[in-house]
Structure 1
């Protein structure tokens, strides 16, 4: 896909991987639609993209609300005429031991990490089917492959995203030409770790703080790689780990 003149909608765009991806794809010529709850941060990012010669609009979006995603698509089509790519990036990672029963955090992860992805796909799919083209990028994780202490619910949500991506590919790619990619990073230097409230898990992760993690820009480059392929090529999974992570 040649990203010039393509329209890319990115959830969780206000920081971390979403922000880096927006900067990267805008630089490559895409018109980006910045979606997140933090409108002020989105507007700051938009200003930076526009100042660098890119195109961007802001749509305040809560991915747990299907109506918000539908409205984001509506505004995208009104501004740019279509939507060619969805980057389902919004996610939470409040790790905790199961016995702590932090059920409110479990529910938030399910709502954002799984339902948010479903809502995004449901919002863009009618347009992509009509166009018989498109690309959906879903943010899974290396946690879809390996359990780690405190990660039972988080890992489960990322397994769900990975398998949902495979189902999407098999159902949509052959018939409608819509490519699907699951991005599966290891530890990335983002604010995800700051959402952890379980003191025992924070203690277990002390050593990881000293490890050289992936940068958000590394994941943005992986997303660009998946997108920057001929339409005949579907990059199913991108499993990307820090060199120092076992």
Structure 2
């Protein structure tokens, strides 16, 4: 799968799935735009990309901030003059009990980051994707498909369900322009999201036991799926949701 000279934005690319996705696109010759809030981590990912491909463009930005969202798209176009692939990967997960008094603060924060931000960035990016007949990959979660066992992850689950359904709607809207839109819904993956959330890391061991394959995925597995969907090998696929969960939903 060659992405030679294709321009690819990967939000949330300072670690985890986003970092792996950026590195894999770099290996395939893409001009990658790294987006995240942690500049030190972004520089580390940039160095890894540069070892295997072209030097990426780093955009330090908070996707939940409208001005920052505009900067992401504007800097991409200023530097490369086009956009071919948008990977809306940035997200956050914070467990919070709906019975707690401050529940709505957590709910609003998660919805802004996990749902509103990719909707707005897609809005900003669409005119350029129309020109390139590009495509969009939205990183959702199996939490958007099933309630699973995390009853305190209601805001996260709702945000991912919304992102998946937004993807289907926008796939239909943009299809006449030649733009494909697809969703990747991972199950448990070894990422930094636990370090940045209130979830207990012991959940990883529980997750293993609750999958049919008794394993947790590595970020590169999800990155490989994203690259496939963004490539010409998937030219007939749009509006689809690809689950990679080690058989978690089977349980």
TM (normalized to structure 1)?
A: 0.90
- Check whether the contact 1:23–1:49 (CA below 8 A) recurs between aligned residues: yes
Q: Name the CA shift for 1:194/1:208 in 2 (closer, same or farther; >3 Å).
A: farther
Counterpart CA distance in 1 for 2:204 and 2:186 is: 19
**2 CA distance for matches of 1:215 and 1:172?**
31
Distance 1:124 1:230 in 2: 23
Q: What is the root-mean-square deviation of aligned Cα atoms in Å?
A: 2.1
What is the alpha-carbon distance in structure 2 between the residues aligned to residue 188 and residue 154 of structure 1?
A: 16
What residue is the counterpart of 1:142 in the other structure? 142
Aligned to 1:239: 243
Determine the structure 2 residue equivalent to 1:205.
203
Aligned-partner Cα distance in 1 for 2:197–2:58:
28
**TM-score, reference length from structure 2:** 0.88
List gaps (5 residues or longer) in structure 2. Answer: 210-214
**Secondary structure class of the residue paired with 2:95:** coil
How many angstroms does 1:227 deviate by? Answer: 1.4
Change over 3 Å in CA distance of 1:232–1:49 after alignment to 2: closer
Tell me what 1:58 maps to: 58
- The 5 A counterparts of 1:154-173 are 154-173=156-175
Q: Deviations over 1:74-116 (max 9, x none)?
A: 1111211201111000001112232134332212111100111
Q: Quick check: 1:37–1:62 contact (8 Å CA) kept in 2?
A: yes
C-alpha distance 170-208 of structure 1, shift in aligned 2 (>3 A) = same
Would you tell me which structure has more helix in proportion to its own residues? 1
Equivalent position of 1:105 in the other structure: 106
Kept in 2: contact 1:9–1:32 (CA 8 A): yes
Name the count of aligned residue pairs: 241
**Residues of 1 paired with 2:132 and 2:206: CA distance?**
44
- The 3 A distance-change label for structure 1 pair 209 and 70 is same
Query: What secondary structure is seen at the aligned counterpart in 2 of 1:192?
Result: coil
- Distance, in Å, in 2 between the alignment partners of 1:171 and 1:84 is 18
Contact map agreement 1:132 1:176 (CA 8 A) in 2: no
Gaps of 5+ in 1: none
